[in-house]
Chain A
């Protein structure tokens, strides 16, 4: 199974909205509603931010939202803040009954 494709880096200014992409195939992202997003700070465990494409766990800011179109899922962060600077990973269920992650995107807040 190949890793999902994420841009290596994205940057934005405080207050701005940015969108991170996660591209797979019809055998993973495009075929299921089971896409999730994780935020990871250096040296820390990942934290769930979005699950089932667009659902937000309790405690996660409503500045984070998720969507999907075809084989590409997206995470949008609105009102960018300094502490949003982190690595972000997407994950998808696959037709093999396994899970696959993206390579991660490093978000820099300018």
Chain B
């Protein structure tokens, strides 16, 4: 079965770039009709969809973050990544990666990685 695992820096300084990676096991990110997605959750708050990349490389981003977000994939490593530029304290959150299947399902999810923006 497909499993996802996030990895990230833990701490990023304001105005710098946040980079997190999701490693996928049990299936190839370049095959199948799937989107590979990033979702975040600030402490004590709700979920926010950040964006996605299709197995063919097409991307779509949340309009509120679009100017700062890039999602890419490295098929040789079976990974996809999120870069968020010019971070501020409000970008502090648990960042989850998930697979978007046919229809409206996000499944499975990674366990999440906490990224704190602080000097």
Interface residues of A (CB under 8 A from B): 1, 3, 32-36, 38, 44-48, 51-53, 55, 57, 89, 91-93, 96-104
5 A-B pairs besides A92-B104, A99-B37 with CB distance below 8 A are A1-B63, A33-B104, A93-B104, A100-B49, A103-B46
Report the minimum CB–CB distance from B58 to chain A (whole Å).
11
Task: Evaluate whether A1 and B109 lie within 8 angstroms (CB atoms) in the complex, with A34-B103, A93-B104, A103-B46 already known.
Answer: no
Say whether B46 contacts A52, CB under 8 Å: no
Q: In the complex, which residues of chain B have a beta carbon less than 8 angstroms from the beta carbon of A98?
A: 49, 60-63
- From B47, B61, B107, B112, A89 is in contact (CB under 8 Å) with B47
Distance of B43 from chain A, by nearest CB (Å): 11
- Across-interface contacts of B48 in A (CB, < 8 A): 101
- B67 sits at the interface (CB 8 A): no
Does B106 lie at the interface of the complex (its beta carbon under 8 Å from any beta carbon of A)? yes
Contacts A45-B96, A89-B47, A104-B47 known; A52 to B64 CB distance under 8 Å? no
Contact of B104 among A3, A47, A52, A102 (CB under 8 A): A52
Alpha-carbon distance between A93 and B35 when the two chains are bound, in angstroms: 13
User: Contacts of A35 on B, CB cut-off 8 Å?
Assistant: 104
Distance in Å from the Cβ of A5 to the closest Cβ of chain B?
A: 11
Contact between A96 and B47 (Cβ–Cβ < 8 Å)? no
Chain B residues at the A interface, C-beta cutoff of 8 Å: 37, 39, 45-49, 60-64, 96, 100, 103-107, 109-112
Contact yes or no, B105 A45, CB < 8 A: no
A-B contact pairs, 13 of them (CB 8 A): A34-B103, A35-B104, A36-B106, A38-B106, A45-B96, A46-B47, A46-B96, A51-B103, A96-B63, A99-B37, A100-B49, A103-B45, A103-B46
User: A104, B46: Cβ atoms under 8 Å?
Assistant: yes
Known: A34-B103, A52-B103, A91-B104. A45 touches B109 (CB 8 A): yes
Q: Is the CB of A99 within 8 A of B49?
A: yes
Are A57's CB and B107's CB within 8 A? yes
Q: Choose among A33, A45, A103 the residue that contacts B110 (Cβ–Cβ < 8 A).
A: A45
